[in-house]
C-alpha cells in the first residue's frame, strides 16, 4: 500500500502568526465565544481522499527572516501544486472548535449518579508504520522546477540524500541544521521531496497555504522531518474529508477526562488537559477527536452568491480608495461565521494585506504611530483625505503605485480562487473529522497515518456540564449555596460549601478517560481504561468547602465510593 508522506512538513522556527490589534475604526464582527478554548496549533492540515488521490491543504507558519524560509515535504508521487487559502483554516477552525458550556440549574434536591462515567466499547486496530529505505543516486534529482504565487519550488527525486541536499544548497534553498539526519527515513527509490522558498523580494507576509494533489492511498504527516523545527508540546490539527469518520490508523485515540476541564471558564485549560492526556498514551502517540459529522457546517461560508464580485469590475476601479472600498463591499474581509455580531476591527486576510501593501502601502509614519493595515484599509478614504490633510508629517515621501488590473489579477489568483476551490472541496465530501494532538520533538519518531471507519458514531464539538444549586439547604445566596457539578461523561463533584463562582479545581486525576485503538472497521478497542481509577480517587465526586465534620465527611464520601463501585459492576 502506498502511503502519503504529506502534510505540514518543515517550516523553520514554526509558529502561529496572530493578527495584531487594530488602532482605528470599528466594524460589525463576531466576538470571541467565551465557551471556546483558545488553542494555537503549530501545524494545520486539511486532507481529502478519493479514488487513490490525496488533496492536502497545508497552512505554513513561520517566524524568521524571509531569506531563511525553507520548507521540505516528502511525497510518494509527483504532486500538482496550487495556492491555498488562510481563510479556509480560520473558518473550519471556528466551525469545529470544541466548546465547553456550563449550564446552571437551581433546585432543592441533591441527586446525581457518579457512576455514569462512560465505559469503553471493544475493538482493535493494527499498526501501520511508514517504510523507509535507501536508494542509489542519479545524475540529477530534479524533476520539476517552477514557481507559484510567492514561491519558487522544486520537486526532487528522493533516491539519494546527498544529491538532493546538494541540489538544494546549490540552488539556494535554505536547509536548516538537523535536516540531513531527519530526511533519512524518507529516502528511497520512487519517493519525492517538494522544496519551497520565497521568491526574491518577497517577505514573510506573502506566505500563504499551499494545496497539493498527488497519488496515494492514505495521507500521512511526516513528523520525523517536522521534528527539526518543532517546539515542545506542539499542536497538530488535522481535518479529514471523506465518506465517514476518520481515524489515526497507526496512532492511539484518546478520550479525555472532562472532570479536569475548567467548566467555569469555558475550558480555558483545555490545551493543558490535552497535553497531559497525550503523555499518558503509549509512546505519547495519540490523537483526540474534536469533531466528527457533516461537512455541511461549511456551506456558504467561504463562497456564496455576490461574494468577491468580479475581477473585471475590480480592475475598473478608478482610484486606490474605490479599489479598496470595492473589496470591503464584496466581503473580502475575514468572515464571522454567522455568530452574533460585535463591534471590533474588521480585517482582510494576511495574503490580501500583503498584496495591497505593495501597491497601496500603509504610510510608514502611520505605522510608526501604531496604526495597523486593518485600521488603514478599513478607513482608507478618511486616512487619505481629511486625516492626511491634518497630519502631513505622517505622509512624507508617501506614494501609491496604483495598477488596478495587475492588482485585481493577483488578488483573484491568490485570494479568490483558493477560497472557491476550498469551498468546493467541502461540498464534494459529505463527512468531516477534526483530530488534534500535542507532541514534542523527542516523540516525533513515527509518522501518523490517517484512514476512515464509517461505522464510528458522530462526535460533537459542543460539550455541556450542569451545575445544580441546591437552594434552601444551608445558604440563601448563590455563592454559598451547596452545588453539584456533573460533567458530560457523568463525573460529579459536590461543593457543600458553595461553588462561589471560582475556578473549578478537581482532584489529581488522569487526564484521559480511556485510550483506545481505532480500526477501519468495528468498535474501538480500549487499552487503557481510567474509569475505575477516577472513581477510586474521587468516589465519583469530591468535596469542596465541606461544612460537615471531618468524620461525617469521610463517611459520606466512603458511601459514594461504594455506591459508585456497585453500580459500575452492574
pLDDT digits 0-9 by tens, 59-90: 988 878 888 888 999 999 999 999 999 999 99
Question: Which range scores top for mean pLDDT: 53-67, 212-226, 476-490, 556-570?
Answer: 212-226
Can you point out the beta strands (E) in 142-216? 142-148, 151-157, 192-198, 210-215
Do residues 266 and 100 touch, judged by C-beta distance below 8 A? yes
Percentage of the chain beyond pLDDT 90 is: 61
For residue 528, pLDDT over 80 is answered with yes
Give the residue with greater pLDDT, 504 vs 165: 165
Give the residue with greater pLDDT, 13 vs 238: 238
Answer yes or no: is 35 within a domain. no
Please give the pLDDT value at position 60: 87
Of 362, 395, 420, the one marking the end of a domain is 420
If asked whether residues 316 and 416 sit together in one domain, one would say yes
Please give the pLDDT value at position 343: 39
If asked whether residues 468 and 398 sit together in one domain, one would say no
Mean pLDDT estimate for the chain:
81
Kindly tell me the number of DSSP H helices and DSSP E strands found in the chain: 16, 23
If asked whether residues 342 and 398 sit together in one domain, one would say yes
pLDDT tens-digit series, residues 114-154: 333 333 323 333 333 333 333 334 468 999 999 999 999 99
Q: Confidence band (pLDDT; 50, 70, 90) for 175? A: confident
Please give the pLDDT value at position 482: 80
For the residues 504-521, what does the mean pLDDT come to?
88
Answer yes or no: is 268 within a domain. no
Answer yes or no: is 243 within a domain. no
Residues belonging to the chain = 570
If asked whether residues 416 and 468 sit together in one domain, one would say no
Answer yes or no: is 271 within a domain. no
DSSP notation for 353-387: HHHHHHHSPPPHHHHHTT--HHHHHHTHHHIIIII
Give the residue numbers spanning the domain of 515: 101-121+462-569
Q: What is the gyration radius of the CA atoms in the chain, in angstroms? A: 27
If asked whether residues 560 and 466 sit together in one domain, one would say yes
Answer yes or no: is 88 within a domain. no
Please give the pLDDT value at position 14: 34
Percentage of the chain beyond pLDDT 70 is: 76
Do residues 159 and 136 touch, judged by C-beta distance below 8 A? yes
Residue 408 in 3-state DSSP? helix
For the residues 546-570, what does the mean pLDDT come to?
32
In order of 142, 151, 349, 448, 542, the CA distances from 81 in angstroms are 16, 11, 21, 23, 55
Cα–Cα distance measured from residue 471 to residue 166, given in angstroms and rounded to the nearest whole number: 74
Give the residue with greater pLDDT, 227 vs 314: 314
Answer yes or no: is 270 within a domain. no
For the residues 105-118, what does the mean pLDDT come to?
48
Of 420, 446, 472, the one marking the end of a domain is 420
Cα–Cα distance measured from residue 362 to residue 23, given in angstroms and rounded to the nearest whole number: 13
Please give the pLDDT value at position 100: 94
For the residues 220-231, what does the mean pLDDT come to?
90
Of 362, 392, 420, the one marking the end of a domain is 420
For the residues 340-367, what does the mean pLDDT come to?
83
For residue 2, pLDDT over 60 is answered with no
Answer yes or no: is 394 within a domain. yes
The number of beta carbons lying within 10 Å of the beta carbon of residue 482 is 22
Cell of 13: 522556527
Answer yes or no: is 536 within a domain. yes
If asked whether residues 322 and 413 sit together in one domain, one would say yes
Number of compact structural domains in the chain = 2
If asked whether residues 536 and 485 sit together in one domain, one would say yes
Cα torsion 32, 35, 40, 43: sign:
negative
If asked whether residues 321 and 378 sit together in one domain, one would say yes
Cell of 562: 461504594
If asked whether residues 554 and 483 sit together in one domain, one would say yes
Burial 257-290 (b: 16+ CB within 10 A, else e): bbbbbbbbbbbbbbbbbbbbbbbbbeebbbbbbb
Element holding 167 (H helix, E strand): helix 161-170
Amino acid at each position: 500500500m502506498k502511503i502519503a508522506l504529506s502534510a505540514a512538513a518543515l517550516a523553520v522556527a514554526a509558529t502561529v502568526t496572530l493578527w495584531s490589534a487594530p488602532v482605528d475604526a470599528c466594524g460589525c464582527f463576531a466576538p470571541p465565544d467565551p465557551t471556546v478554548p483558545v488553542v494555537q496549533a503549530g501545524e494545520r492540515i486539511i486532507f481529502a481522499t478519493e479514488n487513490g488521490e490525496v488533496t492536502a491543504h497545508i497552512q505554513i507558519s513561520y517566524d524568521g527572516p524571509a531569506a531563511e524560509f525553507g520548507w521540505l515535504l516528502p511525497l510518494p508521487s509527483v504532486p500538482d501544486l496550487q495556492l491555498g487559502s488562510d481563510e479556509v483554516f480560520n473558518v473550519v477552525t471556528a466551525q469545529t472548535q470544541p466548546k465547553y458550556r456550563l449550564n446552571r440549574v437551581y433546585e432543592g434536591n441533591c441527586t446525581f449518579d457518579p457512576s455514569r462515567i462512560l465505559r469503553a466499547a471493544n475493538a482493535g486496530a493494527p499498526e501501520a508504520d511508514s517504510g523507509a529505505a535507501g536508494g542509489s543516486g542519479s545524475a540529477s534529482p530534479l524533476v520539476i522546477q517552477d514557481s507559484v504565487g510567492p514561491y519558487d519550488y522544486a520537486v526532487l527525486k528522493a533516491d539519494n540524500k546527498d544529491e538532493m541536499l546538494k541540489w538544494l544548497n546549490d540552488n539556494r534553498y535554505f536547509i536548516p541544521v538537523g535536516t540531513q539526519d531527519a530526511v533519512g527515513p524518507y529516502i528511497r527509490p520512487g519517493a519525492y521531496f517538494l522544496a519551497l522558498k520565497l521568491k526574491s523580494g518577497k517577505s514573510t507576509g506573502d506566505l500563504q497555504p499551499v494545496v497539493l494533489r498527488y497519488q496515494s492511498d492514505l495521507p500521512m504527516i511526516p513528523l520525523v522531518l517536522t521534528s527539526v523545527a518543532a517546539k515542545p508540546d506542539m499542536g497538530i490539527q488535522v481535518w479529514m474529508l471523506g465518506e465517514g469518520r476518520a481515524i489515526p490508523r497507526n496512532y492511539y485515540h484518546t478520550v479525555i477526562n472532562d472532570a479536569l476541564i475548567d467548566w467555569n471558564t469555558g475550558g480555558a485549560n483545555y490545551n493543558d488537559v490535552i497535553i497531559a492526556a497525550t503523555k499518558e498514551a503509549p509512546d505519547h502517540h495519540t490523537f483526540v477527536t474534536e469533531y466528527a459529522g457533516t461537512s455541511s457546517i461549511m456551506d456558504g461560508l467561504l463562497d456564496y452568491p455576490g461574494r468577491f464580485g468580479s475581477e473585471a469590475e475590480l480592475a475598473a476601479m478608478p482610484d486606490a480608495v474605490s479599489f479598496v472600498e470595492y473589496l470591503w463591499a464584496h466581503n473580502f474581509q475575514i468572515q464571522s461565521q454567522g455568530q452574533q455580531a460585535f463591534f471590533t476591527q474588521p480585517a482582510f486576510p494576511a495574503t490580501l494585506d500583503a498584496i495591497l501593501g505593495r501597491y497601496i502601502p500603509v504610510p510608514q509614519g502611520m505605522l510608526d504611530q501604531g496604526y495597523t493595515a486593518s485600521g488603514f484599509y478599513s478607513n482608507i478614504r478618511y486616512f487619505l483625505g481629511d486625516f492626511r490633510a491634518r497630519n502631513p508629517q505622517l505622509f512624507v515621501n508617501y506614494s501609491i503605485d496604483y495598477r488596478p488590473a495587475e492588482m485585481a489579477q493577483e488578488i483573484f489568483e491568490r485570494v479568490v480562487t483558493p477560497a472557491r476551490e476550498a469551498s468546493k472541496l467541502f461540498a464534494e465530501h459529505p463527512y468531516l473529522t477534526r483530530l488534534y494532538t500535542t507532541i514534542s520533538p523527542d516523540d516525533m519518531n513515527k509518522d501518523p497515518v490517517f484512514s476512515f471507519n464509517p461505522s464510528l458514531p458522530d462526535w460533537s464539538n459542543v460539550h455541556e456540564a450542569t451545575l445544580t444549586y441546591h437552594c434552601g439547604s444551608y445558604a440563601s445566596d448563590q455563592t454559598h449555596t451547596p452545588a453539584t457539578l456533573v460533567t458530560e461523561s457523568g463525573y460529579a463533584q459536590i461543593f457543600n460549601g458553595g461553588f462561589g463562582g471560582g475556578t473549578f479545581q478537581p482532584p489529581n486525576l488522569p487526564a484521559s478517560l480511556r485510550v483506545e485503538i481505532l480500526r477501519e472497521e468495528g468498535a474501538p478497542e480500549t487499552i487503557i481504561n481510567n474509569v475505575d481509577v477516577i472513581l477510586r480517587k474521587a468516589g465519583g465526586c469530591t468535596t469542596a468547602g465541606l461544612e460537615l465534620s471531618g468524620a461525617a465527611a469521610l463517611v459520606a464520601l466512603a458511601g459514594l465510593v461504594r455506591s459508585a463501585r456497585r453500580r459500575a459492576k452492574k
